[in-house]
Each structure stands twice: as structure tokens, then as C-alpha cells.
Amino acid sequence: MAQAFGKVILLGEHSVVYGHPAIAAALDRGVSARGTALREAGAVDLLVIEPWGVQALPDVSSGGEPTLGRAFAEVLATFPAERPRVRIDANVAIPGGSGLGCSAALGVAVVRAIDEALGQTHSLEDDIARSLRWERVFHGQPSGVDNAIAAAGGLALFVKGSALEPLRARRPLRLVVGDSGEASATKSMVESVARQHEQVPEKTRQTFEAIAAIVRNGKLAIEGGDLRGLGQLMNMNQWLLAGLLLSTPKLEEMCAAARDTGALGAKLTGAGGGGCMVALCADAASAELVRDAVAKHARDAFVVVAGGLPSGAAENDAP
């Protein structure tokens, strides 16, 4: 069974599109997919996404609305034409269009399931490169952070065009993720930032520089176990994202609920304009309180622990 992870961006979304760093963490949930080779004559490639009740055939047409069929055709084009046809059955355990990297995780899982069906293996770098073709269908010119983390998992610093730099957190990062339930389209949010970049270049450039400094300090805070400092950096990042018109009243309400219940910091995660927020908590008890408070304003809220600890390993919450 092929697997790929959902993700949250802890710091640096949007500026990452312009070559600045971002820090992202994989979720403990994502997309799984099974690939089967179809050897009978006349078989066709088929993608089935069970929870959505959707089936897609590869669509090689260009232009028009992005579709699963076009994305499927893009990744199939990275395999030799002379191959058995494949059937991919995917199971999606994260909501789409909410900033949790659903489409990237689906792309990575589909690429890996095709490998599985054909009895092939590829390197992590290959998986990342091939799934970026899938992402481009939906998101135009994505930075690549989503599909890199979807493929690699863990916690890492990402810079467009470079290999992921895995980060080791000195203390586990207990995160509360809240889904606003408001749909958000990454492509249009990225386009809205691009318009601001064109119309007010100096202001936008300064915002990106400030976010980049926040990310660099965030890396040090993660590696040094300074959760309080990391939380403050998340708050600062949120103010700068709000200045780019990416926040919504609902996301602000959820972030405020998290901070009021003791979260060390909170911000939107992903493209914004709806979707999800993420809050950092000092320990497991605080994370539960914050989750319950955020849940009152959210469609869904859950706790995830990031930081590279194998699941079930003893965690040290002490300062």
C-alpha cells in the first residue's frame, strides 16, 4: 500500500513561493493508495477515489479547469508508454481545499501506487519531482513544499529548488489543527499575493523578508526547544499574513480562542482565505484544552505531535 502524508506549514507559506524558506510538518494522516496492474487486452488506466465516490480516466487535453484526469495523465506521462495499464484505488483521510496538503498527498500516493503496480521503486527525490507535475495541474506554479513533505514526512525546512532539510525538534511540537470549514483555493490565494507583489512591490518584498527572518529564527527555536519563542514567531507570522489579506474573521476567531486558552502561538496554515489554522501548545494537557476551545469555532479540530519522534516513543515535555 502506497502512503503519503498531509502537512501543516508552521512558518513561511506564500513567501516560500518567492524563494524564501518555510518550515512544515507532516500530519499523522494523509492518503493511502493501492496500485494494480491490469494485464488484460483493452484495459485502461483508472483512478478511483473511494471516499469521494470519484473515478477518473487520464485526460491529456491541456488548458481548461484542472481535473483529476489531467493530473493523473501528467504523472502517468513520467512512466514508459509500453507498460501494463493500472488501476489506482486511493483513500483520502484529510479534507481537501483546507490547507492540509490534500492534493499533494494524493499526487505522491498515486505516483507510488503506480510504482507498486508496475513492481518498481524510485528514490524520494524522484517521488517529489514526479508528484510536482500533479501539483502543477491544480496550483499553477507551486513552491513544492506540500509534495516534498507529503513524500518525506517528518519536520523540515524547505527552500524551493533545494533538497528538504530535516529538522530535529529538541522538544516535541504539540500542535492543534483547526479546520474552519471555509473552502480555500490555493491557486487564487497565490494569485492574490502575486497581484500585491506587482502593485506594491516594496511593501510585499519587505513582508517576505520579515517572514524569512521569522522562519530562520523559528528553525533555531525548534532546534533549541524554545517553544515560547516559536509561539511568538507564529503569532508574528500570522500578523504578516493578515497584512497580505490572507486571514479571515473565522481564522482570527479560532486563533484568538487558541491563544486565550493558553496556546503559545497560533496562525493560519497553508494558503489562507479559509482552510485551517495551527496552534502550538506547551504540553499534552494544554493541547487538549486548546483543541476543545478551537473545536467550538471549527468544523474539526485535532492534536498532532511533530518533531521527528517515532510514534509511541517517550516524549520529554520538560523545559
Nearest-Å Rg of the Cα atoms of the chain is 19
Binding segment for ligand PMV (CB under 6 A), chosen from 45-53, 138-146, 166-174, 220-228, is: 138-146
**Residue given cell 514526479 in the structure block:** 130
Q: Which is nearer to ligand PMV, 4 or 86 (CB)?
A: 4
Residue among 18 and 79 whose Cβ is closer to ligand PMV: 18
Q: State which residue, 10 or 279, has the beta carbon closest to ligand PMV.
A: 10
- Could you tell me the smallest distance in angstroms from the CB atom of residue 32 to ligand PMV? 19
Q: How many residues bind ligand PMV (CB under 6 A)?
A: 16
Catalytic-role residue among 45, 115, 127, 146:
146
Q: How far is the CB of 101 from ligand PMV (least distance, A)?
A: 5
Check residue 13 for interaction with ligand PMV (CB under 6 A). Answer: yes
| Contact map string, positions 34 to 73, toward ligand PMV, x by CB under 6 A | ----------------------------------------
CB of 210 to ligand PMV, least distance (A): 16
Cell of 190: 497565490
> Nearest to residue 11, comparing CAs of 193, 232, 162, 168?
232
**What does each C-alpha distance from 184 to 95, 145, 248, 300 come to in angstroms?**
11, 18, 11, 16
- Which of residues 2, 11, 17, 233 is near ligand PMV by CB under 6 A? 17
Q: How many whole angstroms separate alpha carbon 229 and alpha carbon 244?
A: 23
Question: 89 an active-site residue?
Answer: no
CA distances from 211 to 18, 19, 41 (A): 11, 12, 55
Q: Which residues contact 1 (CB under 8 A, 6 or more apart)?
A: 32, 33, 34, 116
Among 5, 11, 14, 58, binds ligand PMV (CB under 6 A): 14
Whether the Cβ atoms of residue 187 and residue 103 lie closer than 8 Å to each other: no
| 142 or 265: CB nearest ligand PMV | 142
C-alpha cell recorded at residue 184: 480555500
For residues 88 and 34, is the Cβ–Cβ distance under 8 A?
yes
Secondary structure string (H, E, C) spanning 230-245: HHHHHHHHHHHHHHCC
Supply the minimum distance, in Å, between the C-beta of residue 45 and ligand PMV: 26
The closest alpha carbon to 26, from 170, 143, 155, 142, belongs to: 155
Which of the stretches 25-33, 199-207, 268-276, 284-292 binds ligand PMV when contact is defined by CB under 6 A? 268-276
- Between CA 319 and CA 308 the distance in angstroms is 18
Q: Write the interaction track for ligand PMV spanning residues 98-137; mark x where CB under 6 A is met and - where it is not.
A: -x-x------------------------------------
By beta-carbon proximity to ligand PMV, the closer residue of 145 and 282 is: 145
Which residues are known to be catalytic? Answer: 146
Q: Which residues lie near ligand PMV (CB under 6 A)?
A: 13-14, 16-17, 99, 101, 139, 142-143, 145-146, 186, 190, 270-271, 275
